[in-house]
Amino acid sequence: MNLQLPQIEGRALLIADLVGTAALLLVSVALAFSSSDAVVIAGLIVAATLFVGGSVAWTIGFVRAAGRSRYEELDLAGLFYLTGSAPAQARRWFMGCWYAQIAIAVAAIAVSRPPFGVMAPVWGIGLVTWWASRHGTFASRQSGSGG
């Protein structure tokens, strides 16, 4: 299994996704073993940052996708899951981060209180949407079918 990051356009978004996933994992593990005020505050800060950042990224991606939809046939599977719109390596990495965020959040809910991590996976879907809207490959619209 190749764990080397792919050399893709928009690699900075993938790196941001990995950093967010790692931060969520670290704070979730810390919350599982400690309920000190400092750890709880760190958990809240990480989860809120990932939630707000993911919401902003999703909005950027969705607005950009709306603009592209005038000339290209964007579909939801390609935009939100990179199905058919991204190289296989890029899709594996982005989807892997998002699924890891979901798994970490579910595990954190089961073992720690308060369960701030439930907000964090918005980070992954937001960055996926942003990446797809900027770098995804979609078919061109046939002439006369654009808005």
Domain boundaries, the chain: 11-140
* Alpha helices (H) along 34-143: 37-68, 76-81, 88-111, 122-135
What is the C-alpha to C-alpha distance for residues 64 and 103, in angstroms, rounded to an integer?
29
State residue 116's pLDDT score.
81
State residue 144's pLDDT score.
55
What is the C-alpha to C-alpha distance for residues 41 and 18, in angstroms, rounded to an integer?
22
* pLDDT tens, residue order, the chain (147 aa): 667 888 999 999 999 999 999 999 999 999 989 989 999 999 999 999 999 999 999 999 999 999 999 999 999 999 999 999 999 999 999 999 999 999 999 998 888 777 788 899 999 999 999 999 999 999 999 865 555
State residue 120's pLDDT score.
94
Of 37, 17, 6, 31, whose CA–CA distance to 120 is shortest? 17
Return the axis-axis angle of helices 11-33 and 88-111, rounded to nearest 10°.
20
